[in-house]
Amino acid sequence: MRIDIITVLPELLESPLGHSIIQRAQKKGLVEINLHPLRNFTHDKRKTVDDYAFGPDAGMVLKIEPIFEAIETLKSEREYDEIIYTSPDGEPMTQNLANQLSTKKNVLILCGHYKGIDHRVREHLITREISIGDYVLSGGELAAAIIVDSVVRLIPGVLSDETSALTDSFQDGLLAPPVYTRPAEFNGWKVPDILLSGNFKEIEKWQLEQAIERTKKLRPGLLDEER
């Protein structure tokens, strides 16, 4: 998979995408992530990427020309399955969407910034708009990092234990059951006996019961969601 990200602030993405699982996935050649500073697509001395919004509202808006040039340049090099814009008014990011995106070959992400981007970009160039939650961030970079992280870990071969993504929360519409490690007793607090029993069938049954119970208690809405 190849992911290209157009951003005003590449520095904000370098660290989250340069460590741990995402870094290993890149080293293994399972994903290629390229950051494209939007200022590289400007032609004035000051490398202007934003301008005042038309109308009475205060605030700066990302200009259409550098974004158009960035997207068209990348599109001339390969075909994109999705051109995503990160925005609080996009469709909600879910595990289901992460699964879908993890099967794509080329994905382009445009990070929003300041007050927004010229709406013509959204009308004519973007194929999908994604929100990571009902709150507003200062820019789309952190949202892009979260989207990329949730997608890349699902690419086959990225996680060392291939099945471990399948037991994640949300993957089967349920929250994950609790997990424990040694010592079996700490400070008088015990690990549930069942986990020490060695009876894998019973353990799996217990884990499913726990998953259902935790989902009912913490996120009951998940149980009604269509899948």
Where on the chain is the footprint of ligand ADE (CB under 6 A)? 86-88, 112, 131-133, 135-137, 140, 143
Q: Closest CB to ligand ADE belongs to which residue?
A: 143
Q: Which is nearer to ligand ADE, 111 or 211 (CB)?
A: 111
Q: Which is nearer to ligand ADE, 24 or 139 (CB)?
A: 139
Rounded to a whole number of angstroms, the minimum distance from the CB of residue 147 to ligand ADE is: 8
Closest of 140, 159, 127 to residue 30, by C-alpha? 159
At 4, which amino acid appears? D
The beta-strand segments (E) located in 64-147 are 82-92, 106-111, 128-131
Rounded to a whole number of angstroms, the minimum distance from the CB of residue 180 to ligand ADE is: 34
Judge contact between 198 and 184, C-beta under 8 A.
no
Burial class (CB in 10 A: 0-12, 13-18, 19+), 122: middle
Rounded to a whole number of angstroms, the minimum distance from the CB of residue 170 to ligand ADE is: 18
Rounded to a whole number of angstroms, the minimum distance from the CB of residue 51 to ligand ADE is: 19
Q: Which is nearer to ligand ADE, 131 or 215 (CB)?
A: 131
Judge contact between 89 and 140, C-beta under 8 A.
no
Q: Which is nearer to ligand ADE, 86 or 150 (CB)?
A: 86
Collect all residues with Cβ–Cβ distance below 8 Å to 106 and sequence separation of at least 6: 1, 2, 3, 4, 78, 79, 80, 81
DSSP 39: G
Q: Which is nearer to ligand ADE, 8 or 159 (CB)?
A: 8
Rounded to a whole number of angstroms, the minimum distance from the CB of residue 26 to ligand ADE is: 23
